[in-house]
Amino acid sequence: MRHLAIAAGLLMATQAAAQTPELTVYTYDSLATEWGPGPVIEAEFEKTCGCDVTFVTAGDGAALLSRLRLEGARTEADVVLGLDTALMGAAAESGLFAPSGVTADYSLPIDWTDETFVPFDWGYFAFVGLTDGPQPTSFRALADSDASIVIEDPRSSTPGLGLLLWVKQAYGDEAPAIWEALADNIVTVTPGWSEAYGLFLEGEADLVMSYTTSPAYHLIAEDDATKTALAFDEGNYMQVEVAAALASTDQPELAQQFLQFLTGEAVQSAIPTTNWMYPAVTPAAGLPEGYETLTVPATPLLMPVAEAQAARDAALEEWRAALAQ
Amino acid sequence: MHPTRGETPAAAPLPARRLRTVPAPTHGPGALAGRLAAGAVCLALVLPLAAILWRAATEDQGEPLFRLGPADLAALRFTLWQALLSALISTLLAVPVARALARRRFPGRGFVITLMGAPFLLPVIVAVLALLAVFGRGGLVNEGFTALGLPTLRIYGLHGVVLAHVFFNLPLAVRLILQGWQAIPAERFRLAAQLGLRPSAVFRLLEAPMLRATLPGTALVIFAICLSSFAVALTLGGGPAATTVELAIYQSFQFDFDLTRAATLAVIQLALVAGAALISLRIGRPAGFGSGLDRPVTRWDAGSLPLRLIDGAAIALAAGFLLVPLAVIVLNGIGGLTRLPASLWPATLNSLLVSLAATATTMALALAMALARRTWVETAGLLPLAVSSLVLGTGLFLLVLPLAAPATLALPITVLVNTLMALPFALRILAPVAARIEAEHGRLADHLGLTGLARLRLLTLPRLRPALGFAAGLTAALAMGDLGVIALFADPQQATLPLQMYRLMGAYQMQAAQGAALVLLALSFGLFWIFDRWGRAGAHA
Amino acid sequence: MLTLDHLILQQGDFSLTADLTLPRGSRCALIGPSGAGKSTLLNAIAGFLPPRTGRILWEDRDLTALAPAARPVAMLFQDGNLFPHLDIARNVALGLSPNLRLTANDHARVREALARVGLDGMGDRRPGALSGGQQSRAALARVLVQNRPLLLLDEPFAALGPALRAEMLALVRAVVEETGATLLMVTHAPEDARRIADRLILVSDNRAEPPAPIALLDDPTPALRAYLGEG
């Protein structure tokens, strides 16, 4: 019996070695499309790893985490690509992820100390509007103005959650008052970013909750310089998008290699014009032309992960109560 | 009332006694197939729910099942209220339109009737953006108001939600009610004309009983659809006051990862629709017009000028309300056609396959269930309306997970979910017609020994054909336009057309997305047109 | 011989008893006031209404539990005797084969039957394109090909004018004489009964009387006189 088991083990080992190892990467939907960075990441990593990269997608970052939690230890995922700072607290609590072992010279406006989650891009949330439209410079100025805004629901979208935490960090206990003051500026609340941005482009509102990098798309891809993002005096909240290796992966080394690769030149130089975000490590050639025109907020805001996780539910309730009237 | 009835003493309406002598098929393969189908549908709904509940029980141990907060209750209230308003208004507005279409013959009538199916088939985001182009801040209506010096209209709020739901559901309501009108045999109108009945009397004696039989079911379907509204309600509702149960479910899954709460809300949603279904089936008794000989209907009672004007206005207003936003989609989409990525075409093919497969399975199930003619079978067939596709998708995901990689089953599961989602509509269309066929011809068929497949082939299918065509068209188009669960299961290689359209939007490619929406609209409408046309071609052939 | 053995029929709060026999080959008229249960009785014999108690027998064979189509019965209803979506030939052919799988011989029989009732060459028309009399003829053509020993008529010709009705009854009489069928027909017109029937069953007061000779019409019992209105 023992010989048989050893023989079977050897057989399986040689088979595994003979096959190309497969790295399964869970990511959000838009990252893996032909317009996102997915194809570049896959092609470039496969050049060096001797492996086969497979993307599996779920709607957005929140859906991605839900799916991983549903699958638990049974997941086929080796790496998840596309969680963000708002989800990191819940992700860390789930215990599904392993320390990355990645080191890189990040060009983030904040210090990055987390050992599990590897940032691959980042951006500032901002209200985006037209260059000839209203351009308030703070939440208070916005609330006092007639400017109309479309925002996303924090319960179903990443920018929505970002906005919630932004107001909370900037105003603390005064956040409910800010929301009440903003109530008459808010045209509507959409389930996701696409709906909100679509409404804005249709002219339903003066401003939309998006990213400072949104105008870059219009400028670079459409040669349209009419969109601008607003820097707020309170500062602008940040979103850092991260990747992590699953603790349950059967390819920990390959997963680590992939995470390290994400911070490298090949991926980072593709990020600005595919994911329309700032790269986590500035590429050697710098940022693409057009990025220099973007609004750079004076104050980056980002709640520490644990604090954001703790503040989330109460902030949501304040938001709901203020806007539900 | 009944021109061929011979008994001279006081002409009682068709006696209920006689109808009861036709036994319902409690036995036989027909009834069995229907009950099996209903059982399968129940299982397909209950198993995913159970999977979520079971997982919830293992996930957060010891937490109580029911713990709805004030926010949940507010969501429940808003959900019920907007669904009720949407159902009532859609149904009531549909009556004059259906009546006009039933009693007028004009060039392009067939086209208008087909078109009546179209808005219903659009992905939510496309329809909402199209509606906003008409009713939104800078929309056509407000431009007109501004030009006339009138205050502008603000669409966001409960009225906006109801407006959008009416846009989505008015066509369906018109078609369902029109079906009722067309079921009144030509002979009854001939008799009414012979007796010199005024339009009000025709309404009271012929049309009101038909409406009583038709409207509750129509309103129920729309109520149930609107009950699981999410994106429309939130986007046009204007804020978190417009939170629906469906959004609360979504929040439970994605924001809180609270499976217990998600499953609890899903069960409540299911109970609401089941309750509404039972009430409506109880109110909506079959009308019993007796049979006719398929003569073309001529209406002698509706020739007066005021009635012509009313009917003309009803058709013009409804067509305008539905067509102008559609025209916006077409105009916006044409520019985007040149920007469509090549990856759209495999996705389109996937969508077509899903659509045709779902049509086949839905029609088989709906036919079996319609022929069983059992209240519980019909109720079971309406239940999928109440189950959010997110719950269904997540539950199926949990069920599939131990067996296979979910992505490998993305398309079959999409077919399954679309089948379940379309079944209530198909059943709602087929069941009343099937019941009428049995009431009118069942006794003769029993007498002649028409059973099983022969009855299906020689009696049921030919007489059901217009309803079959309409139901199949609706199913095909619904499945074509559904975003649904594919997003939960798909890998990048297995997109459907709506998913690909949504991805374009997410990548800032709004113009290409509008082009994709046009392709989707054209294909949905094309499928609907082909099936519906096939059905109606048989009506007077 | 048709035997109604201690039959009690119940529909809601209406009930009807019948305990009688009818010899084979009789032509029997069912008469009685409206609502007395004439159609109910025919429906029970045809198998559309299970009796509460009692049995229905044909030539000593118990029919009570049989499905309508399994009974040796051809029946014409007050209306709805033809499927509107099928042409006349197929409507008639259903009497031969409920799944319309027809042999050449079957087709010939359908043509013959149509010719016999005066609808030669009209087999490809649908009922909606026919006159009332022609529809009745088409239904009779089906009765011909069904060739069942028991023919039940539930006033199928009531909507026709007197002359046309007489013509149809003559045709029915010819048909039953050809096929040797036993006829049971509901009628309101004593002259119709006289024209075709040799017996009559009076249905009144929740009871079907045993058959009496048709001559009873000329010398009615008090109950029959009450119905005929000649008292």
Range(s) of the domain holding residue C139: 83-147
Mean pLDDT of chain B: 81
Cβ separation A187–B133 shorter than 8 A: no
**Placement of tokens 């002698």 in the chain:** B300
Interface test with C, best of B17, B182, B289, B293 (most C CBs within 10 A): B293
Residue A165: pLDDT over 50:
yes
Give the nearest chain B residue to C145 (CA atoms).
B448
The helix (H) or strand (E) run that includes residue A10 is helix A2-18
Interface test with C, best of B448, B456, B457, B540 (most C CBs within 10 A): B448
A247 part of contact set with chain B, CB < 8 Å: no
B26 part of contact set with chain C, CB < 8 Å: no
Cβ(A243)–Cβ(A80) below 8 Å: yes
In a domain? residue C125: yes
Cβ separation C85–B5 shorter than 8 A: no
Give start-end residues of each CATH 1.10.3720.10 domain in chain B. 27-56+338-541, 78-328
**CATH number attached to the domain at B78-328:** 1.10.3720.10
User: Do both C35 and C101 map to the same domain?
Assistant: no
Cα gap C4→C54, rounded to integer Å: 8
Q: What confidence tens digit (pLDDT) does each residue in C167-204 have?
A: 888 889 988 888 889 999 998 888 888 888 999 999 98
Cα gap A293→A282, rounded to integer Å: 17
Residue A75: pLDDT over 80:
yes
Domain boundaries, chain A: 2-122+239-292, 123-238+295-323
In a domain? residue C77: no
What residue type is B309 in one-letter code? L
CATH topology of domain B27-56+338-541: MetI-like fold (1.10.3720)
Strand, helix or coil at A123?
A: strand
User: Do both C214 and C190 map to the same domain?
Assistant: yes
Cα gap B532→B156, rounded to integer Å: 35
The Cα angle at residue A125 between residues A124 and A129, in degrees rounded to 5:
115
Write phi, then psi, for A106 (nearest 5 degrees): -70, 145
What average pLDDT does the segment A84-88 reach? 91
C121 part of contact set with chain B, CB < 8 Å: no
User: Do both C177 and C205 map to the same domain?
Assistant: yes
Taking the CA of residue B538 and the nearest CA in chain C, the distance in Å comes to 10
Q: What confidence tens digit (pLDDT) does each residue in A178-234 have?
A: 999 999 999 999 988 988 998 999 899 999 999 999 998 898 888 899 999 999 999
User: What integer pLDDT is reported at residue B6 of this predicted model?
Assistant: 30
B70 part of contact set with chain A, CB < 8 Å: no
Contacts of B28 in chain C (CB under 8 A): none
Contacts of B292 in chain C (CB under 8 A): 84
User: What integer pLDDT is reported at residue B23 of this predicted model?
Assistant: 43
User: Do both C201 and C215 map to the same domain?
Assistant: yes
Residue A8: pLDDT over 60:
no
User: Do both C163 and C210 map to the same domain?
Assistant: yes
For residues B3 and C12, which has the higher predicted lDDT (pLDDT)? C12
With a pLDDT cut of 90, the percent of chain B lying above it is 14
Write phi, then psi, for A119 (nearest 5 degrees): -70, 135
User: What integer pLDDT is reported at residue B26 of this predicted model?
Assistant: 42
Spatial CB neighbours of A221, under 8 Å, sequence gap ≥ 6: A273, B508
Residue A137: pLDDT over 70:
yes
Cα gap B392→B388, rounded to integer Å: 6
User: Do both C142 and C154 map to the same domain?
Assistant: no
Strand, helix or coil at A11?
A: helix
User: Do both C164 and C191 map to the same domain?
Assistant: yes
Give the nearest chain A residue to B250 (CA atoms).
A156
What average pLDDT does the segment B245-274 reach? 84
Lowest mean pLDDT among A149-163, A184-198, B88-102, B225-239: B225-239
In a domain? residue C120: yes
- Dihedral sign for Cα A261, A263, A264, A267, please: positive
What residue type is B127 in one-letter code? A
Strand, helix or coil at A23?
A: strand
Taking each helix axis from N to C terminus, what angle separates A85-94 and A305-323, rounded to the nearest 10 degrees? 120
Lowest mean pLDDT among B23-32, B103-112, C16-25, C113-122: B23-32
Cβ(B255)–Cβ(A62) below 8 Å: yes
Cβ(C212)–Cβ(C199) below 8 Å: yes
Spatial CB neighbours of B203, under 8 Å, sequence gap ≥ 6: none
Which residue from B156, B178, B159, B155 is spatially nearest to B89, judged by alpha carbons?
B159
Burial of B155 (0-12, 13-18, 19+ CB in 10 A): buried
Which residue from A65, A160, A89 is spatially nearest to A311, judged by alpha carbons?
A89
Cα gap C187→B7, rounded to integer Å: 10
Number of structural domains chain C divides into: 2
Beta pairing, strands A52-58 & A278-279: unpaired
User: Do both C163 and C116 map to the same domain?
Assistant: no
Cβ separation B454–C100 shorter than 8 A: yes
User: Do both C132 and C18 map to the same domain?
Assistant: no
Terminal Cα distance for chain B, rounded: 28
CATH topology of domain A2-122+239-292: D-Maltodextrin-Binding Protein; domain 2 (3.40.190)
The Cα angle at residue B288 between residues C69 and B184, in degrees rounded to 5:
110
Taking the CA of residue B227 and the nearest CA in chain A, the distance in Å comes to 17
Contacts of C85 in chain B (CB under 8 A): 294, 462-463
The helix (H) or strand (E) run that includes residue A151 is strand A149-152
User: Do both C16 and C46 map to the same domain?
Assistant: yes
Residue A14: pLDDT over 50:
no
Cα gap C166→C60, rounded to integer Å: 34
Write phi, then psi, for A129 (nearest 5 degrees): -145, -165
Residue A166: pLDDT over 80:
yes
Task: Give the one of C73, C77, C126 whose C-beta lies nearest to B444's C-beta.
Answer: C77
User: What integer pLDDT is reported at residue B450 of this predicted model?
Assistant: 85
What average pLDDT does the segment C122-135 reach? 88
User: What integer pLDDT is reported at residue B10 of this predicted model?
Assistant: 32
The helix (H) or strand (E) run that includes residue C30 is strand C27-31
DSSP label at residue B138: T
What average pLDDT does the segment B43-66 reach? 76
Neighbours of chain B (3+ CB pairs under 8 A): A, C
Cβ(C134)–Cβ(C168) below 8 Å: no
User: Do both C152 and C224 map to the same domain?
Assistant: yes
Taking the CA of residue A188 and the nearest CA in chain B, the distance in Å comes to 4
What residue type is B278 in one-letter code? L
Mean pLDDT of chain A: 90
User: What integer pLDDT is reported at residue B398 of this predicted model?
Assistant: 86
Residue B311: pLDDT over 70:
yes
With a pLDDT cut of 70, the percent of chain A lying above it is 94
pLDDT-based confidence at B394, cuts 50/70/90? Answer: confident
Cα gap A202→A222, rounded to integer Å: 17
Residue C148: pLDDT over 80:
yes
Assigned superfamily of A123-238+295-323: Periplasmic binding protein-like II (3.40.190.10)
Instruction: Locate B431 and state its tokens.
Output: 């069941």
Task: Give the one of B255, B506, B510 whose C-beta lies nearest to A201's C-beta.
Answer: B510
Contacts of C35 in chain B (CB under 8 A): 9
Q: Specify the CATH number for the domain of residue C64.
A: 3.40.50.300
User: Do both C55 and C164 map to the same domain?
Assistant: yes
What average pLDDT does the segment B109-136 reach? 80
What residue type is C36 in one-letter code? A
Which residue from B454, B298, B3 is spatially nearest to C135, judged by alpha carbons?
B3
